[in-house]
Chain A
Amino acid sequence: MSIDYIFAIPLVPLTLFLLLGILYKRIKPSVSGYIGVLGLLSSTVLSFVAAYQYFFVHGKVNGVYESMVSSTVWMNFTPTLHIDMGILIDPISVMMLIVVSVVSLMVHIYSRGYMKGDEGYTKFFAFLSLFTFSMYGLVLATNLFQIYIFWELVGVSSYLLIGYYYTKGTAVAAAKKAFIVTRFADLGFLIGILIIGYYTGTYDFQTLTDPEGSAILNWGATSFMGLSVITWALILIFMGGAGKSAMFPLHIWLPDAMEGPTPVSALIHAATMVVAGVFLVARLFPMFYFVENGFALNIVAYVGAFSALFAAIIAITQTDIKRVLAYSTMSQLGYMMLALGVSGYDGHEGVGYMASMFHLFTHAMFKALLFLGAGSVIHAVHSNLLKDMGGLRRYMPITNITFLIAAMAIAGVPPLAGFWSKDEILVAAYEHHKLLYFVAVFVAGLTAFYIFRIYFGIFWGKETAYAHPPKESPLSMTFPLIVLAVLSATVGFVPFSEFVTADNVGFEAHINYPLAAIATLTGLIGILLAWAFYKKTSTLPDTYARTFGSFYKWAYHKFYMDEVYLFVTRKILFRQVSERIAKFDKKYVDGTMIGIGNKTVLTSTKIKGLQSGRVQDYAYGFVVGVVVLALVFIYLWTN
């Protein structure tokens, strides 16, 4: 069964990008919007065809989902070590195809309304296409190097889109920040890749992740500072993943990235690009699990759990609704990392892996919906701040209902999508690591609280005196909201454990009723608290904020992480290290080079006389040259 038609899925957005990019000024905005949506629609349809073909027709061989590869050698280093370009089809890549396609399509449709009248309308769609292409390339990659190439490409498109409003200073700064922070993390990723290539002799995912393969079995061959080099490589690779997925302490770029247009936040910084880190760990999961008894995997679990808690606390205190959602994203990504971190491998042991992917899938739907809903609100009131909103349920009924569904989904209210995936994560944590389980439950409560805090703040509460009465958004914007709301409500019923598992053999997942009840109860408490605090205007929140005093202030200032970074880079790195090196460089290295340069120019001036302009001299030079050469070769350099 040929899978070559899947190549068309990334190639369509690439073509769109080139087309829109080249015709940028000659194409009418309305036309470019339609082209973008139609192109994405075809990719989406193909993705669904691919998913159907894979999951229901061809993928399963003897009860196991086999990986399918179609690739060509791109660069050859040694007979075994080469870089391929191609596509790898397996459960998680197919699942990611669906996620990227659906969210990207919805964002494309939504952007037609949201970006209407914007000067760079066509450019915006071109960038969206570039991003979609890169993301497809990333999820379909067959080897570490290919994933790295597309990894950087999504980084570039994210940079372009965050800085889309390039006349705004904060947007430009945010774009730079995102790029530099993730690039820094990617340095680790690259070193990790090179280590893996050097010690295992392959970049290929299938070879690397084969539990019986030499890459995993020989992990103990070389060690460095008490750990296997492969473990070091995995930690470095996870560093790259942590950068993209905004794990503590590399998360500082994500909140600032909200300077980009809201559809971009929904697509890139909620549903697709930021899950790349989770995807990467899942992609290499057998390595993480088997090498050195999962040492690197434990790091993943702790970093994930801490990020989830840390971000959830900050989210409670923020007043910009997009920033609340950004921290919420970080928190949920931490959740997914945690689930991967506590997962086993065989059968039901691998429930964490399954839950992580499941949560990735459901989260993409409801978080995209939350962002698009927030965008719809921002579109109506022209502000990001909670204080400029309130009582909007009367003006924007569709946005209200869809946002509520999404909020309930993320809070884990049954039977919406988030409930199912979160439950599986809690099961996994409970079975493998009790402490992390309690962290996870606590975060679930916080999540419900902060999301309903903004929900009540936006749609209920006091009614702000609006300059213009807010209007419901046009159909192009509400339609994606409705679609995503339906998905957020229903995708939880997908029997995920039959399709996506660590060892690619399906198992039957059961609801663990006691755990589910505890989680649901925690969520409901969170919601009730939020209701009590924010349903109506009251002094309650301020009182509590005062009670917590400095802790509240710390959380409000995001625990001063940005300031820490600035201190380390400016005060320590720049002043103590860089300046000294620069001085040495200027004085000695430059001095030597400039000296050589000056000597060269001086010589050039001195020999000027040789070229006299008189043809007699030229002939003289010619003849003397011949004679000297002849004499030298006949009398001196004879053999």
Chain B
Amino acid sequence: MSFNDILVMRQEIVLLVIIVLMIIMEIAIPQNKKAGIVHLSIFLFGLHTVIGFFVIDDKSLFGGMYRTTEMIHFFKNILNIGVFIILLQSAQWVKNNLISEHRGTEYFTLLFSSLLGMYFMLSAGDFLMFYLGLELSTLPVAALAAFEVSQRKSSEAGIKLILSAALASGITLFGISLLYATSSSIYFETVSENILNNNLTILGFILFFAGLSFKISLVPFHFWTADVYEGAPIGIASYLSVISKGAAVFILMVLLFTVLKPLMQVWDKLIYVIAIATMFTGNLFALRQQNMKRFLAFSSIAQAGFILLGLLIGNQLGAATVIYFVLIYIFSNLAAFGVVQAISTQTGKESMTDYEGLYRTNPNLSLVMMLALFSLAGIPPVAGFFGKFFLFTAAASEGYYMLVFIGVVNVTISLYYYLLVVRAMFLRKNENPIPFFKNDLYMRLGLLITVAGILVLGIYSPLYEYIYELSNLIN
């Protein structure tokens, strides 16, 4: 293996270097200048994001344990952009709450470690590597969820996440063992060759699928979501809702479309059922939420249900629409979480009633929130509309009309509760509205990027064409 081969792992290596650098800086930077950590980490990660866009050749390393393709590389870049936005949006919060307690570095190193786990998960060439990546991506987040040590709810979130994750991980591992038992290999390529359509395989597959569904919060593996989102720091909640979920969707898609393709007549029914359950559960629960974080938690469950419509059809079109939808979802959801983050950091308010009359005092934030919610609801001409539209057309093209109809019904329900927030901000009057405040530069940049994404991604057709080309690599 030459030096050039190692460079194929550039994304992982650079991120690892950043993590190590951060730890060294923690020691090197004097106590009174710790705030510099925030700028440094944002700078370094921004650099990493930019570097990520350089092309990496398709390659397989370590006897097939690690591999990278243009599509996997693209996934990592999407995750990078998402994490970068989260860093920008949570910078103020980190400065206010963590720096004085000397825990700033911890926050960043844990976050980056989790991301590193996702890289390995995405690049995995066998189930072992995949499992290691999965664990590395989950454990730091559990620590981060419990990061606000003074808050009871935050500790609760941490405990609930780690317990649920432990269960899910155990079940995943059991599923992998059964798959190994029937195919006598853990390498994806060999597994897909040897896989049989027998009961043991199906059981193994369902167990494995349940473990990943936990990360995507599909019903009935979603129970942890609302409690954890509510208790965790907002940056972490948004990380869970877009990055963690996005990565899991990507890897699930790759596995379903390649390794587990022979089981398609099992998993298309499975996904059909789960999609319906997930859409209805997410939407019906979201209807009544008053806390913005819980509200967004259920909304993100419902969105995951929509994603399944694209997964279901199992071809290039399905893959392209899923990737495209996730990309748009990342921008839309981060915009919504960004506004919640900004308001919570400045005023500590997180309830929907607090948002009443927001437009009068903070028109810009309200507009960003409105755009984000419109995009989540799928109102043209913002990007979310195109995301949903393509998903539905993809499902319809394979004849799943009933499912598309159920999807449209659910979009209508979701429209209702998204507009509840818009109504609160724009139409309701409030004696005691959130006062006007100015965000720091990072937050503004973070929101600006998301808004640009929401406005441009849907209309910029070369992007979709590029994604469609990429999706070809799956088959």
B280: nearest chain-A partner, CB-CB:
A603
The answer to the question of B197 belonging to the interface, with a C-beta cut-off of 8 Å to chain A, is yes
Stretch at the interface among B81-89, B284-292, B344-352: B284-292
Give the residues from 251 to 275 in chain B that come closer than 8 angstroms, CB to CB, to chain A.
265-266, 269-270
The answer to the question of B163 belonging to the interface, with a C-beta cut-off of 8 Å to chain A, is yes
The answer to the question of A435 belonging to the interface, with a C-beta cut-off of 8 Å to chain B, is no
A618: nearest chain-B partner, CB-CB:
B223
Q: Mark B194-236, 1 if CB is under 8 A from A, else 0.
A: 0001010011001100100010000111011011000000000
Given the interface pairs A619-B167, A621-B223, A622-B221, the reply to whether A633 lies near B413 with Cβ below 8 Å is: no
Given the interface pairs A611-B226, A619-B163, the reply to whether A626 lies near B202 with Cβ below 8 Å is: no
A620: nearest chain-B partner, CB-CB:
B223
| Contact assessment for B220 and A634 in the assembled complex, using a CB-CB cutoff below 8 Å | no
| Contact assessment for A604 and B284 in the assembled complex, using a CB-CB cutoff below 8 Å | yes
Given the interface pairs A601-B287, A613-B227, the reply to whether A626 lies near B210 with Cβ below 8 Å is: yes
Residues of A within 8 A of B214 (CB): 622
| Contact assessment for A615 and B160 in the assembled complex, using a CB-CB cutoff below 8 Å | yes
Residues of B within 8 A of A617 (CB): 223
The answer to the question of A56 belonging to the interface, with a C-beta cut-off of 8 Å to chain B, is no
Residues of B within 8 A of A638 (CB): 199
B160: nearest chain-A partner, CB-CB:
A615
Q: How far is the CB of A626 from chain B (nearest CB, A)?
A: 5
The answer to the question of B168 belonging to the interface, with a C-beta cut-off of 8 Å to chain A, is yes
Residue from the list A600, A624, A625, A629 in contact with B287, Cβ < 8 A: A600
| Contact assessment for B223 and A608 in the assembled complex, using a CB-CB cutoff below 8 Å | no
Complex Cα spacing A637 to B285, Å? 30
Residue from the list B207, B220, B269 in contact with A621, Cβ < 8 A: B220
Residues of B within 8 A of A622 (CB): 164, 167-168, 171, 210, 214, 220-221, 223
- Majority SS at the chain B contact face: helix
Complex Cα spacing A621 to B222, Å? 9
Complex Cα spacing A634 to B205, Å? 11
| Contact assessment for B207 and A626 in the assembled complex, using a CB-CB cutoff below 8 Å | yes
Tally of A interface residues using CB under 8 Å:
27
Residues of A within 8 A of B227 (CB): 613
Q: How far is the CB of A480 from chain B (nearest CB, A)?
A: 42
A626: nearest chain-B partner, CB-CB:
B210
The answer to the question of B400 belonging to the interface, with a C-beta cut-off of 8 Å to chain A, is no
Residues of B within 8 A of A605 (CB): 288
The answer to the question of B403 belonging to the interface, with a C-beta cut-off of 8 Å to chain A, is no
Give the residues from 575 to 623 in chain A that come closer than 8 angstroms, CB to CB, to chain B.
597, 600-601, 603-605, 607-608, 611, 613, 615, 617-619, 621-623
| Contact assessment for B413 and A600 in the assembled complex, using a CB-CB cutoff below 8 Å | yes
The answer to the question of B416 belonging to the interface, with a C-beta cut-off of 8 Å to chain A, is yes
Q: How far is the CB of A2 from chain B (nearest CB, A)?
A: 28
| Contact assessment for B164 and A615 in the assembled complex, using a CB-CB cutoff below 8 Å | yes
Q: Mark B411-445, 1 if CB is under 8 A from A, else 0.
A: 00100100000000000000000000000000000
Q: Mark A7-32, 1 if CB is under 8 A from B, else 0.
A: 00000000000000000000000000
The answer to the question of B159 belonging to the interface, with a C-beta cut-off of 8 Å to chain A, is yes
Complex Cα spacing A351 to B171, Å? 89
Q: How far is the CB of A78 from chain B (nearest CB, A)?
A: 19
Q: How far is the CB of B111 from chain A (nearest CB, A)?
A: 24
The answer to the question of A217 belonging to the interface, with a C-beta cut-off of 8 Å to chain B, is no
| Contact assessment for B171 and A604 in the assembled complex, using a CB-CB cutoff below 8 Å | no
Complex Cα spacing A600 to B219, Å? 19
Complex Cα spacing A121 to B117, Å? 61
Residues of A within 8 A of B226 (CB): 611
Residue from the list B159, B202, B221 in contact with A630, Cβ < 8 A: B202
Complex Cα spacing A626 to B285, Å? 22
| Contact assessment for B210 and A639 in the assembled complex, using a CB-CB cutoff below 8 Å | no
Q: How far is the CB of A620 from chain B (nearest CB, A)?
A: 9
Given the interface pairs A600-B413, A634-B203, A639-B197, the reply to whether A625 lies near B164 with Cβ below 8 Å is: no
Complex Cα spacing A267 to B171, Å? 77
Residues of A within 8 A of B288 (CB): 601, 604-605, 608
Residues of B within 8 A of A600 (CB): 284, 287, 413
Given the interface pairs A600-B413, A622-B223, the reply to whether A633 lies near B202 with Cβ below 8 Å is: yes
- Band of interface residues on B: 20 to 34
Complex Cα spacing A590 to B265, Å? 42
B218: nearest chain-A partner, CB-CB:
A625
| Contact assessment for A639 and B265 in the assembled complex, using a CB-CB cutoff below 8 Å | yes
Q: How far is the CB of B55 from chain A (nearest CB, A)?
A: 32
| Contact assessment for A625 and B220 in the assembled complex, using a CB-CB cutoff below 8 Å | yes
| Contact assessment for B163 and A634 in the assembled complex, using a CB-CB cutoff below 8 Å | no
Residues of B within 8 A of A630 (CB): 202-203, 206-207
Residues of A within 8 A of B206 (CB): 626, 629-630, 633
Most buried by B among A597, A603, A630: A630
| Contact assessment for A607 and B285 in the assembled complex, using a CB-CB cutoff below 8 Å | yes
Residue from the list B163, B221, B284 in contact with A625, Cβ < 8 A: B221
Q: Mark B155-197, 1 if CB is under 8 A from A, else 0.
A: 0000110011001100100000000000000000000000001
Residue from the list B160, B167, B220, B266 in contact with A624, Cβ < 8 A: B220
Most buried by B among A603, A613, A618, A623: A618
Q: Mark B139-167, 1 if CB is under 8 A from A, else 0.
A: 00000000000000000000110011001
B227: nearest chain-A partner, CB-CB:
A613
Q: How far is the CB of B458 from chain A (nearest CB, A)?
A: 16
Q: How far is the CB of A601 from chain B (nearest CB, A)?
A: 6
Complex Cα spacing A630 to B210, Å? 10
Complex Cα spacing A354 to B220, Å? 77
| Contact assessment for A625 and B210 in the assembled complex, using a CB-CB cutoff below 8 Å | yes
Complex Cα spacing A592 to B125, Å? 54
Q: How far is the CB of B459 from chain A (nearest CB, A)?
A: 13
Given the interface pairs A626-B210, A633-B202, the reply to whether A603 lies near B284 with Cβ below 8 Å is: yes
Give the residues from 5 to 59 in chain B that come closer than 8 angstroms, CB to CB, to chain A.
none
A600: nearest chain-B partner, CB-CB:
B413
Q: How far is the CB of A318 from chain B (nearest CB, A)?
A: 46
Q: How far is the CB of A587 from chain B (nearest CB, A)?
A: 22
B161: nearest chain-A partner, CB-CB:
A615
| Contact assessment for A611 and B287 in the assembled complex, using a CB-CB cutoff below 8 Å | no
A634: nearest chain-B partner, CB-CB:
B199
Residues of B within 8 A of A604 (CB): 284-285, 287-288
Q: How far is the CB of B470 from chain A (nearest CB, A)?
A: 25
| Contact assessment for B269 and A637 in the assembled complex, using a CB-CB cutoff below 8 Å | yes
Q: How far is the CB of B262 from chain A (nearest CB, A)?
A: 12
| Contact assessment for B265 and A626 in the assembled complex, using a CB-CB cutoff below 8 Å | no
Give the residues from 471 to 508 in chain A that come closer than 8 angstroms, CB to CB, to chain B.
none
| Contact assessment for A629 and B270 in the assembled complex, using a CB-CB cutoff below 8 Å | yes
Residues of A within 8 A of B159 (CB): 615
Complex Cα spacing A48 to B370, Å? 48
| Contact assessment for B284 and A615 in the assembled complex, using a CB-CB cutoff below 8 Å | no
| Contact assessment for A618 and B224 in the assembled complex, using a CB-CB cutoff below 8 Å | yes
Complex Cα spacing A610 to B164, Å? 16
| Contact assessment for B284 and A607 in the assembled complex, using a CB-CB cutoff below 8 Å | yes
Complex Cα spacing A607 to B280, Å? 11
Complex Cα spacing A615 to B223, Å? 8
Q: How far is the CB of B160 from chain A (nearest CB, A)?
A: 5
| Contact assessment for A633 and B287 in the assembled complex, using a CB-CB cutoff below 8 Å | no
Complex Cα spacing A334 to B365, Å? 54
Residues of B within 8 A of A619 (CB): 163-164, 167
Residues of B within 8 A of A611 (CB): 223, 226, 285
A601: nearest chain-B partner, CB-CB:
B287
Complex Cα spacing A604 to B287, Å? 7
Known: A607-B284, A625-B220. 18 other contacts (CB 8 A): A600-B287, A605-B288, A608-B288, A611-B226, A618-B160, A618-B164, A618-B224, A621-B223, A622-B167, A622-B221, A624-B220, A629-B206, A630-B202, A630-B206, A633-B202, A634-B203, A637-B266, A637-B269
Q: Which 7 A-B pairs rank lowest in CB-CB distance, beginning with the nearest? A: A618-B223, A625-B220, A604-B287, A604-B284, A626-B210, A630-B206, A634-B199
A-B contact pairs, 26 of them (CB 8 A): A600-B284, A600-B287, A604-B285, A604-B287, A607-B284, A608-B288, A611-B226, A615-B160, A615-B224, A618-B164, A618-B223, A619-B167, A622-B164, A622-B214, A622-B221, A623-B171, A625-B219, A626-B206, A626-B210, A629-B206, A629-B210, A629-B270, A633-B202, A634-B202, A634-B203, A639-B265
